[in-house]
Amino acid sequence: MIITHLLLAVLWISWCTLHSAMISLSVTCYLEHRLGQGYRFYRLFFNAVAVVTLLPVYLYGQGIDSPLCLIVQGPLQTVRIALLLTSLLLFVMGARVYDLKHFTGLRQIRQKPFSLSGDTIPFKTRGILTVTRHPWYLGGIFLIWTYQARMTMADVMVNAILSLYFVVGAMLEDRKLKKTMKGTYDQYASMVSMLFPVKWLRYLLKHCRLPVSTRLYPAHPVLAVGAVVFKADHVLLVKRKNPPSQGVWAIPGGRVRLGESIQEAAQREVLEETGVIITPREMVFAFDSIERDGFHNVRYHYHIVDVVGDYVSGEPMAGDDALDTRWVSRQALATIPVNEKTKLLLETKFDFQG
């Protein structure tokens, strides 16, 4: 019995190693260079090999006489079913954001093959990808441990191997994306957990609402608002904590929430970022802020509307989205790094310049 179980472990480890090696960056780069236009068939070939080599390993495992070692029953059945449904939800939601034709290899056959030196596939960070970076790997872990209530020793051993494979696979995929997308993927990874949605849950518990987007690579332009607030001969500015314009001074503001007017959003954002209470008035400026990555994909796209705000009360105190905030005089404006659009707005609309 020990020999059959060891052989089963070797077969599964070999399959996982082969599967990971065939899609590794070094192998795919080499084959793309060697095969030229023939590389367009590689993804289809890779999937076929994965399925064909999986069948004998799976069938061998099914034929092993292994003792029963785990039975899920009682209240744990509810947990098992909940996790099983979660795994199915992860697969469905992942399919909604992934390019399935590219995943299967059908898209590459019909068009110019995907180039690792230039990412022609738009990088998406919406939907389930705001919760976890690898929903299918996470769904796979949940699925293998919950699809049956009774597990043999062989089942537990194989599930442990596959769980490790999913974790290592997510790490290797991360390393490949970080290398091909440079700092772009690092920024995304800093906001979204690799597998288990720890960062998403932390945000939910802290703010009592769901994070609607990572802001990176949006599916459509994001509406945002800024507020120009004066007190005597000083303007209220914040030092941005997050991209875009990270570390640069600008007027306070942020995204408009569903159901908010421009004025309501401006009042809320100023209070959240600076602790200052204002009375928002008319719109004075509007522009688009578009940033692209090295592959010409749109990393950010904000449509920003700036309003005038009358100071009511409060002293500046930096909130979550700001490194610092203060009243800035004309003289001090020339000594700090100021966002170009903020500088243009202050100069052209208010004749306020250092």
The pLDDT tens digits for 91-143 are 999 998 888 888 888 877 876 544 544 334 556 777 898 899 999 999 999 99
Whether 88 has a pLDDT exceeding 50, the answer reads yes
At residue 254, the pLDDT reads 92
Higher per-residue confidence, 63 vs 121: 63
At residue 111, the pLDDT reads 67
Longest CA span, the chain: 85
pLDDT-derived band at 145 (thresholds 50, 70, 90) equals: very high
* Section 29-47 average pLDDT: 87
Domains of the chain: 2-204 (no CATH), 222-350 (3.90.79.10)
Higher per-residue confidence, 138 vs 218: 138
Q: Give the three-state DSSP class for 258.
A: coil
At residue 116, the pLDDT reads 47
At residue 120, the pLDDT reads 44
Residue 169 and residue 20 in contact, taking contact as beta carbons nearer than 8 Å: yes
Continuous segment of H or E residues that includes residue 282? strand 277-292
* Section 185-199 average pLDDT: 88
At residue 100, the pLDDT reads 86
Higher per-residue confidence, 177 vs 144: 144
At residue 125, the pLDDT reads 75
* Section 13-37 average pLDDT: 89
Q: Please, is 22 exposed, middle or buried when counting C-beta atoms within 10 Å of its C-beta (0-12, 13-18, 19+)?
A: middle
- Rounded Cα distance between 60 and 31, Å, is 32
Whether 305 has a pLDDT exceeding 90, the answer reads yes
DSSP state at residue 181: S
Cβ neighbors of 239 (< 8 A, separation 6 or more) are 247, 248, 249, 318, 322, 323, 324, 325
Higher per-residue confidence, 37 vs 336: 336
Whether 294 has a pLDDT exceeding 70, the answer reads no
Higher per-residue confidence, 221 vs 203: 221
Sign (positive or negative) of CA dihedral 325, 330, 332, 334: positive
At residue 337, the pLDDT reads 95
Whether 226 has a pLDDT exceeding 90, the answer reads yes
Question: Distances from the Cα of 344 to the Cαs of 6, 135, 252, in angstroms?
Answer: 70, 43, 15
Higher per-residue confidence, 214 vs 163: 163
The stretches of the chain forming alpha helices (DSSP H) are 2-22, 25-35, 42-62, 75-97, 100-104, 106-110, 135-146, 153-180, 183-189, 198-207, 262-274, 330-333, 340-350
At 147, list the tokens. Answer: 């699809």
- Strands 298-313 and 222-231 turn out to be parallel
At 129, list the tokens. Answer: 């990808």
Among 258, 291, 272, 259, residue whose Cα is nearest residue 227: 272
Q: Could you count the other beta carbons within 10 Å of the beta carbon of residue 156? A: 14
At residue 117, the pLDDT reads 43
- Rounded Cα distance between 146 and 79, Å, is 9
Whether 279 has a pLDDT exceeding 80, the answer reads yes
- Rounded Cα distance between 106 and 92, Å, is 20
pTM value? 0.70
* Section 71-80 average pLDDT: 93
Among 77, 64, 86, residue whose Cα is nearest residue 2: 64
Residue 225 and residue 253 in contact, taking contact as beta carbons nearer than 8 Å: yes
Say whether the peptide bond before residue 243 is cis (omega within 30 degrees of 0): no
Residue 176 and residue 30 in contact, taking contact as beta carbons nearer than 8 Å: no
Give, rounded to a whole angstrom, the gap between the first and last alpha carbons of the chain. 82
